[in-house]
Structure 1
Amino acid sequence: MAKPLTLVPVPKLYLLTNDDEFELLYRKLETALATGLIGLLQIRRKQVLAMPNGQTLLYDEAVKIVALAAEYNVPVVINDDLTLAAQLGVGVHLGQQDGSISQAKQQLMPNTIIGRTCHGNVDLVKAAQDDGASYAAMGAVFASTTKPNANTLSRSQLIDGCQQGRDNSVNKSIDMCVIGGLTAENIGQLAGLPITYIAVVGDIMDLPLDRITKRCQEWQQALAEWQSPA
């Protein structure tokens, strides 16, 4: 008798902000969120932070973005800034040098999303899992305009990371996130892997405003074809 096929859940699209001027950024976010496709939103504004009054500007922007996301019931995480995340009552994404998971769990509300950058290292995925992070982000999967010089993962690294995320020998589950050069055209190469979040910046946010809705629809079609035998 043939073994029943196991279908993995369809991942959620995880949208990251770019460095557009804020009015344009806000309109793009509003357009993307209105499609109902976005499952998680990250505020990452490197150029704003580099300005003399960057922290104040980022806070003002983040307040507006968090309020917008709330209208569409989309959770928000702040990139690398635990203090701001705590002030706004939202989640945080931490790089390896940007604070500990335990500190984040102490400062944020229970069940708040806490993400951890794990690059291509399965040991970092395990560490994030042991520390109680919500998700581990692996990448870059492909070269991207955001980080053109980032090291890309091999297929085996990605599979190993996903297997660690599903490891039942540990008592803490962790969602897996992939990032780096992902598009509606190449995401099918990852079909069948147990991924919870597909992080996207340029493939949506770098488009002109009037192309955002169509691109989200193309992503929706790509994700509709995601499930395959695991």
Structure 2
Amino acid sequence: MIIPKLYLLTNDDDISLLLTKLKTAFATNLIAVVQIRRKQVLAQPNGSQQLYDEALEIIALAQQYKVAVVINDDTALAAKLGVGVHLGQGDGDISTAKQLIAADQIIGRTCHGDSQLVKQALEDGADYAAMGAVFASMTKPQASIISREQLNAGCQLSLDKPLNICVIGGLSAENIGQLAGLPLTYIAVVGDIMDLTVEQIAQRCQQWQQALSIWQTLA
């Protein structure tokens, strides 16, 4: 049984604070992937340039800690920066992304709770399928909660053929144990880490490490 890794999504903190938080989290060696998602920044008049400049700083930091980077939604930007991309269902197709993005970079696809979308992501060559929301989330309070049966169906597909499953939505160190035993590769986290102060993040990551240790007992 593979122990899942944390997949951290950025919030809209000021970039200097965000970098400090990311450095603290990366230093714990729990973070496998960071997704650059800066919705408020992108909405600014010069948002695209600001996002590009900030992404360069985040990527440089991630490289120091050997953390993979993906850009949310934007294949062209991901290709320009030399990183991976996460695609929602309306954000372009995987085949185009594979043509533009280096072969060693990650391509992920949002699949909600639909095993058919997971199957399609698998057939299209995605590296992971994101399923959720698993629990109610403050980040996306309107997101539909998927059932355990839906999650199980997606995970079964990942057993039949190689495909990483990433769960997202309201996940915390306190509730992640409810998913113990599932063949998960990534656990996506935003608020449970990024909404904390810098001083709290290292301790929270330790709590995550303890919570994930349950997977070891299932090996």
Q: TM-score, normalised by structure 1?
A: 0.93
Q: Gaps spanning 5+ residues in structure 1: where?
A: 1-7
Contact 1:191 1:227 in 2 (8 A): no
Aligned to 1:206: 195
The one-letter code of the counterpart of 2:65 is: Y
The reply on whether 1:108 has 2:101 as its aligned counterpart is yes
Contact 1:118 1:125 in 2 (8 A): yes
- Describe how 1:131-210 pairs up with structure 2 within 5 A: 131-168=124-161, 173-210=162-199
The one-letter code of the counterpart of 2:102 is: M
Aligned to 1:222: 211
Once residues 12 and 30 of structure 1 are traced to their aligned partners in structure 2, the CA distance between those partners, rounded to angstroms, is 17
Aligned to 1:121: 114
Q: Gaps spanning 5+ residues in structure 2: where?
A: none
The one-letter code of the counterpart of 1:196 is: T
Q: Percent identity?
A: 67
Instruction: Indicate the structure (1 or 2) with the bigger Cα radius of gyration.
Output: 1
How many Å apart are 1:228 and its aligned residue?
4.9
Once residues 229 and 10 of structure 1 are traced to their aligned partners in structure 2, the CA distance between those partners, rounded to angstroms, is 10
Once residues 201 and 104 of structure 2 are traced to their aligned partners in structure 1, the CA distance between those partners, rounded to angstroms, is 31
- Partner of 2:51, secondary structure, is helix
Contact 1:192 1:228 in 2 (8 A): no
- Partner of 2:2, secondary structure, is coil
Deviations 1:107-131 (A, max 9, x none): 0111310000000000000000000
Dislocated runs of 4+, deviation >3 Å: 227-230
Aligned to 1:130: 123
One of 61, 64, 72 as aligned partner of 1:68: 61
Once residues 118 and 78 of structure 2 are traced to their aligned partners in structure 1, the CA distance between those partners, rounded to angstroms, is 22
Once residues 228 and 31 of structure 1 are traced to their aligned partners in structure 2, the CA distance between those partners, rounded to angstroms, is 28
Once residues 226 and 38 of structure 1 are traced to their aligned partners in structure 2, the CA distance between those partners, rounded to angstroms, is 17
How many Å apart are 1:229 and its aligned residue?
4.3
| Matched pairs, number | 219
Once residues 116 and 136 of structure 1 are traced to their aligned partners in structure 2, the CA distance between those partners, rounded to angstroms, is 5
